[in-house]
Amino acid sequence: MHSNEILALGLGIEPPWRLVDQRLDTAASPNVLHLTVAADRGAAFACPTCGRSCKAHDFQEFTWRHLNFFQHHCHITARVPRVHCPEHGVHRATVPWAREGSRFTLLFEQAAMMLVREMPVLAAARLMEITDKRLWRIVTHYVDQAVAALDLSDLKAFGLDETAAKRGHTYVTVFIDLDRPDKPVVFVTPGRGKDTVARFRDHLAEHGGEPGRVVEVVSDMSGAFIASVREVVPEASVTVDWFHVVQTFTKALDAVRRAEAKSTRLPKALRWAVLKNADGPLTDKQADALAELEACGHATGEAWRIKEKLRWVRKAETAQAARWRLTHFLRHARDIIADKDLLKPMQGALATLDKHAERILQRWTSGHSTARLEGLNGLFQAARARERGYRNATTFTAMIYLIGAPIRVFVST
């Protein structure tokens, strides 16, 4: 085999294209292997629309970055024709080693996509020796392409949650298929609230889904979400997931603690003690802090008690028992709060709970695990870690899809 042929094999070039020149530029650092590819004189090229064999109209030179040749960067240059198709007019021909519009070869992109599946994009960009911005362009292209092929024709139940793409700035709302045990993400869209649900309806329709077939939706207690879910999938029952109930009380508890800390010296390790999920063991310090809280009759201690009592509601085995416990819990908690100013935030949480009681109780009769939304937090964290250093709603969205969606990201070479 001639050395040109070996190189051509590694490039994925095929007739009428041939490798016509190779030159190692040792003045550049790192060294660059320049490969020149050309088509046979008078060759015909396929119209990118219909595939008909057409004559070249004119040529323009392009250069692509290819996989490194050992330690050297490798660039491919070729004059690419525009073809003149009698039916479709004049269009740039496609080349077999790169997709339209990309300045990288398919093999380079394939390697890049393999890396970003395993490591943060910034780390992959360093390995590939390109900027992370350019790597993100590759990632979003292939993720978008894979998402476009998503089939949602059997979606019957979905859950949704919102999360910040950038701390406190832009949000994205994530929709999951509740019947998929892993890779449940089926839609990610910028923003939060009402409009996102309408966009999901359109997305569903574009992917073979049918809003009328949706029987259940699991969401948090946001009024905007619930109202628009009612509008978009009126037949579906709406269940509020337990995770968001606990989250509401945790926030209220933290508000009580912060307010109380202004006027009272609270035990030091308290912040962590009160926020820690008591399902796990408390440290000695945290246990001491709690004991001290209770002994001194702090409002934070009472708020903590209320929040902990929620667990008792959740443990009910039947819907009927849960209803009874919920009623009892509300009454008992309101007695504790009475008109204590410091406990006002807990009052707000109770009002929310009361308002959504029916949707919360639905979880006892729901055919779907409502614990799924809780698992999304881990996914969001993983996505944030992968996109560190270059973060916006678009990159965050692409990374959530890449990690959490049932898509096949596929670079055809």
Question: In the complex, which residues of this chain contact Zn ion (CB under 5 A)?
Answer: 47, 49-50, 52, 85, 87-88
Closest to Zn ion by CB, 90 vs 351, is 90
Contact 159, 219 (CB under 8 A): yes
Transcribe 371-408 into DSSP letters: THHHHHHHHHHHHHHHTTTS--HHHHHHHHHHHHS---
Contact 401, 203 (CB under 8 A): no
CB of 39 to Zn ion, least distance (A): 18
CB of 57 to Zn ion, least distance (A): 12
CB of 141 to Zn ion, least distance (A): 24
Q: Contacts for 145-149 with beta carbons within 8 Å, 24 or more apart?
A: 145/409, 145/410, 146/401, 146/405, 146/407, 146/408, 146/409, 146/410, 147/401, 147/405, 147/407, 149/407, 149/408
CB of 240 to Zn ion, least distance (A): 54
Closest to Zn ion by CB, 47 vs 74, is 47
- Cα–Cα distance measured from residue 299 to residue 224, given in angstroms and rounded to the nearest whole number: 32
Q: What is the DSSP letter of 15?
A: T
Preceding peptide of 16 cis, ω within 30°:
yes
Closest to Zn ion by CB, 87 vs 182, is 87
Closest to Zn ion by CB, 89 vs 208, is 89
Closest to Zn ion by CB, 51 vs 281, is 51
Contact 270, 291 (CB under 8 A): no
Closest to Zn ion by CB, 43 vs 403, is 43
Closest to Zn ion by CB, 85 vs 229, is 85
- Cα–Cα distance measured from residue 367 to residue 361, given in angstroms and rounded to the nearest whole number: 13
What tokens appear for 239 in the block? 């269940």
Distances (CA, A) of 123 to 50, 115, 222: 40, 9, 38
CB of 93 to Zn ion, least distance (A): 11
Contact 382, 292 (CB under 8 A): no
Closest to Zn ion by CB, 58 vs 202, is 58
CB of 211 to Zn ion, least distance (A): 38
Instruction: Give the list of residues 6+ apart from residue 93 with CB closer than 8 angstroms, or none.
Output: 45, 46, 47, 48, 56, 80, 81, 82, 83
Closest to Zn ion by CB, 54 vs 112, is 54
Closest to Zn ion by CB, 81 vs 345, is 81
- Cα–Cα distance measured from residue 363 to residue 359, given in angstroms and rounded to the nearest whole number: 7
- Residue spans of alpha helices (H) in 89-131: 106-116, 121-128
Q: What is the DSSP letter of 362?
A: G
- Cα–Cα distance measured from residue 273 to residue 304, given in angstroms and rounded to the nearest whole number: 10
| CA 327 distance to own-chain centroid | 37
